[in-house]
Structure 1
Amino acid sequence: QALQAAVDGLGVAMGIRPYIDDDLAAGRLVAPFELSVPKGMRWYLVYHGFRTGQRDFAAFRRWIIRAAAEPAARGKGQRSLMREET
């Protein structure tokens, strides 16, 4: 709601990249200065081991790992911390 209010010209908001990148690129939002704060967040894909043998799940898992490793998913300057758990 705060981001929409900022888009509507009603105030200022802070957003999480890459979720606001489209709004920045389209000019709906502006960044008054180049400043970012590391989120310190991690994403996890949790699943039962028996799923690894299912083709649909294996394809999804490969896709999500590749997508998470892309720079746009991590944000500028952040490095990937992808690792396999056994």
Structure 2
Amino acid sequence: MYDLTGFQRDLLYVIAGEEEPHGLAIKEELEEYYEKEIHHGRLYPNLDTLVDKGLVEKGRRDRRTNFYTLTRRGQRELEARREWEAQYVDL
């Protein structure tokens, strides 16, 4: 997790919080959070990086639509990150 960008970590959180979100749904969630447009040229290469790292799995709904889910490793990495954060932030 330490080698991910903040944007990539945010992608993991959005994917974890939705059930098999497609790229556009992820994009919309992040645009709402960041309060600015997320370009496809930023979104999809970062999703592909997460797939390449084994944190996210990409599936196919139809010829034009992919969906994303966390892998077990991705889930473990998020859990480890939240435990690490909890050492420093008590909300």
Normalising by the residue count of structure 1, what TM-score does the alignment of the two structures yield?
A: 0.28
Q: Between Structure 1 and Structure 2, which shows a larger proportion of helix residues? A: 2
Structure 1 or 2, whichever has the larger Rg, is 1
Query: Higher RCO, 1 or 2 (CA under 8 Å, sep at least 6)?
Result: 2
Normalising by the residue count of structure 2, what TM-score does the alignment of the two structures yield?
A: 0.27
Q: Between Structure 1 and Structure 2, which shows a larger proportion of strand residues? A: 2
